[in-house]
Amino acid sequence: MYMELPGIRTWILFYLISFVVLLWAAFLSAKGVMLWVSLMLVIVIVGVNFYVVFIQIKVQASRKQMQHDLTKDFVRGEKQVTDDRPKH
């Protein structure tokens, strides 16, 4: 299944920032300081990533539904209705 990704630079920047925050959270938890901050960072980043992917799936589904609605009455080939009106 093909999914359009608008603004690939935006996605790269988003996931790079997410990766840096997760690395920072791993560093904080490895040092043993501010464990609640590192846990909160991980929860926030995972939640935001899940939300963004969920929204993109919904947008793709609505685009697919709109495309289906626009093309449902389209007829190809010999099934087309001939125009029986007199020509000028």
This prediction has a pTM of 0.62
pLDDT at 60: 84
Q: Would you say 12 and 50 are in contact if contact means Cβ atoms under 8 Å apart?
A: no
Q: How many whole angstroms from its chain centre is CA 45? A: 16
- Burial (0-12, 13-18, 19+ Cβ within 10 Å), 42: middle
Residue recorded with tokens 């009106």:
85
Per residue in 35-83, pLDDT tens?
Answer: 888 889 899 999 998 998 899 889 888 988 888 888 887 766 666 566 6
Phi, psi of 83 (to 5 degrees): -90, 115
